[in-house]
Amino acid sequence: MVTAFTTASTRQTFGETLVELGRENQDIVVLGGDLNKSTFANLFGREFPERFFDFGPAEQNIMGVAAGLAASRKSPFVTTFAVFGSCRPFDQIRVSIAQPHLNVKIVCTHAGIITGEDGMSAHSIEDLALMCSLPGFTVLAPADAVETVRAIRAAAETPGPFYIRLYRPATPIVHQDNGYDFKIGKAELMRRGKNDDVTIIAVGVGVSSSLQAASALAEEGTSCRVVNMHTLRPVDEGAILEAAKETGAIVTVEEHYIHGGLGSIVAQALGKGHPVPLEMVALDRYAESGTAEELLEKYHLTPEYIGKAVKAALARK
């Protein structure tokens, strides 16, 4: 049996949160690149036109301008699609933002392959690897719209450069709206049994599919712990090692390329601290046009494939 979730849009939630932040903090300025309807940054632009700047699709310039604003004690939020806010202007992010450690928040929507029909150029499957490679950057990938609000607010309250990864389609809600205490760098335990056989560490939409996989596996007698690794940098190594010690096997789940993302980060922590069998559910190539559901199925990112990875990990224990 598969758990059913209601869904909500992380990008719309982001746009609404940004407006609230704009009311609370006069220093917040927003920069967009001609995608402001899609990122919902236009909500901020409508209410605060004097603090909203569109640059057209000129992402290299946007990152440099954001750096100049941050150096002038503004709190810039850059919003665009994930491919255009990470891959495209990477050197500008590196030299103008990361190296001087400026207070720029890059919030990108349309991450991963669930962006769908636009095809591989629009599928951001390298962004986590790139952004996690920048010293001093904090990298957040909220699991749902509830967590998105917390992540955006936590970023606004924390000085320094951030990358936050959101989605195009509405995604499953895995948190109760009230009482969720989000902390940067502190992994969230989503599901835990008495004697878990394995831990699934997931990020972003991978969390809901991992919870679904865990439910299905429970009916077969396999007990899975599920951890939401919403912060990729700085990653919660303590939570990874605790899971490795207590359950003896790990499966990572991410809608990202298999190199450089969550799986690689977890492997690094395990290798240093407590090696155990590790299976990675991730993309191993560029995808193609299709619906989100079709792509997740074809590229083996569904709960069914997470279940297979769990079994593979258990077999290696």
Residue spans of alpha helices (H) in the chain: 10-24, 36-39, 42-47, 59-71, 82, 90-92, 127-132, 145-157, 206-219, 237-247, 262-273, 292-298, 303-315
Q: Which is nearer to another protein, 27 or 294 (CB)?
A: 27
C-alpha to C-alpha distance for 255 and 262, rounded to whole angstroms: 9
Q: Which is nearer to another protein, 64 or 116 (CB)?
A: 64
Amino acid present at 24: E
Where in 98-127 is the site for another protein (CB under 8 A)?
Answer: 99-100
Nearest alpha carbon to residue 97 among 72, 63, 126:
63
Per CB under 8 A, the segment of 35-43, 79-87, 91-99, 117-125 that binds another protein is 91-99
Q: Is residue 207 within the footprint of another protein (CB under 8 A)?
A: no
Q: Is residue 53 within the footprint of another protein (CB under 8 A)?
A: yes
State the binding string over 268-297 for another protein (x if CB under 8 A, else -): ------------------------------
Q: Which is nearer to another protein, 100 or 238 (CB)?
A: 100
DSSP state of 127: H
- Looking only at Cα atoms, what is the longest distance across the chain? 59
CB of 161 to another protein, least distance (A): 13
CB of 221 to another protein, least distance (A): 56
Q: Is residue 240 within the footprint of another protein (CB under 8 A)?
A: no
C-alpha to C-alpha distance for 76 and 234, rounded to whole angstroms: 21
Q: Which of 41, 43, 69, 296 binds another protein (CB under 8 A)?
A: 69
